[in-house]
Amino acid sequence: MTTSTTAEYGTDRRTVTVRVNGRDVAREVSTRTTLADFLRDDLDLVSVHLGCEHGVCGCCTVLFDGRSVRSCLMLAVQSDGHTVETVESLSADPAELHPIQESFAEEHGLQCGFCTPAMVLRTKEIVETGRQLTDAEVRHEISGILCRCTGYQNIVNAVQSACAKLRCGGPGTDERGE
Ligand code: FES
Ligand code: FES
């Protein structure tokens, strides 16, 4: 039986074309490069935070075709032909925050900020469903992202504030108001 060595895997490179934060980029990457490393190291999108690097902390969360994924668990080559959003896409000007970012600031939904890009992107995904969630449902929805600092209540408040600003429906409704 033949086995491939790490060195052999490492020499395999592919070109990926991916739409990142509204811009099409094409890069040659190793087939071993994770999506997280590609975003941070090749595209300088350092809001993508690496904590555990094995799928537990959720701090590397990005939106992939509009859905939150752990970018440390994906390979860059898997992004070929897809759309990725990081928190850098929300506001080009630090003086003009996106309403979700405003909500996190106003509700003190962060302390060290390590989990915050992931929490903000997860909130964007929640807001875009059009559903207004209960606090318990928000806690469930953000449960894949670990925060070591806040105790979560202020993050829940921030999510609810963002939903209110961006006009989610009433409790228990979806985008069709049902
Ligand atoms: S760094 Fe990806 S889940 Fe922790
Ligand atoms: S604010 Fe520090 S980990 Fe969440």
Domain ranges for the chain, please list them: 12-88, 99-165
| CA 137 remoteness from chain centre | 19
12-88 classified as CATH 3.10.20.30: yes
Q: Is the model's pTM score more than 0.75?
A: yes
- Please state, in angstroms and rounded to a whole number, the distance separating the CA atoms of residues 122 and 45: 17
113 alpha carbon – ligand 2 mean position (Å): 5
Report the helix count and the strand count for the chain, using DSSP H and E.
Answer: 6, 5
Query: Which is the closest atom of ligand 1 to the Cα of 49?
Result: 1
Half-sphere exposure of 59 (CA within 13 A, CB side): 17
pLDDT of 125 over the 70 cut: yes
153 alpha carbon – ligand 1 mean position (Å): 22
The residue nearest atom 2 of ligand 2, judged by CA position, is 112
Give per-residue pLDDT as tens, 28-62: 999 999 999 999 999 999 999 999 999 999 999 99
99-165 classified as CATH 1.10.150.120: yes
DSSP 94-132: TTS--HHHHHHHHTT--SS-SSHHHHHHHHHHHHHTTPB
* Ligand 1 and 146: CB distance under 6 A: no
- Please state, in angstroms and rounded to a whole number, the distance separating the CA atoms of residues 92 and 23: 13
Give per-residue pLDDT as tens, 84-122: 999 999 998 888 999 999 999 999 999 999 999 999 999
